[in-house]
Amino acid sequence: MQNSPDTQALETAIGVPIGNVDLYYAALTHRSYLNEEPHWPHGHNERLEYLGDAVLELVVSEDLYLKFPDDPEGKLTLLRAALVNYQFLARVAEDINLNSFLLMSRGENRDVGKAREVILANAMEALIGAIYLDQGLGEAKKFIDRFVMVSLGEIVRNGSYKDAKSELQELIQEKKKVTPSYRVLDENGPAHKRTFRIGVYFGEDLIAEGEGLSKQEGEVEAARKALEKVR
């Protein structure tokens, strides 16, 4: 068995006092680890991921609501999506070196690229769930403000929150007088971790493909790639 994560080092990395270490052991355990260590007593992180996702969305939603009192719901939704998507959360996880604390199978440990980003993002959400249960909403909010909301200014300045699908539609309707359409090209993976490959079409012409953990996410990725081609 791998050594249990060093909770003292984790406490330093995340800046949050750790009380119930069992919560953090669970938060840092990928499901695959149990295939190799079935007697690991702390379970895996999917339930905490579910909880942490809800806490993260609540905190970010409230912060955006208060910071942008004159902006419409649509803009707030786009800003929130930019702050809670798996790629951004994976980047935050890397910033706090969360990868060094994770427990996973040897096979999963070799994953790179998108697969590793998803694992890191899910662990971030699980960690937020653990902080919430262990220390309450106040500490969870402090953690989210320190590591997630801190990037809000950069996201607003560079416009990375803007909806790629809307931008593509406006551009192509103006240039080609057609509306982009999206089709599911493939889907795979278990029900709880489905991956969708989406194509974006101008008429009957396939322009670009994107992948995501939901159809919407795949459509946005396809739209981004199409924009790179047509700008």
Instruction: Tell me if 200 sits within 8 A of 180, measured CB to CB.
Output: yes
CA proximity to 126, closest of 40, 22, 39: 22
Residues involved in catalysis: 53, 125
Calpha distance 173→31 (Å, rounded):
45
CA-to-CA dists, residue 216 to 182, 184, 189, 223, angstroms:
10, 10, 17, 11
What's phi and psi for 174, nearest 5 deg?
-70, -45
Place of tokens 């938060």: 27
The two structure tokens encoding residue 174 = 């103006």
How would you class 157 by CB atoms within 10 Å of its CB: exposed for 0-12, middle for 13-18, buried for 19 or more? exposed
The two structure tokens encoding residue 118 = 């998803």
Instruction: Tell me if 211 sits within 8 A of 197, measured CB to CB.
Output: yes
The two structure tokens encoding residue 5 = 């994560």
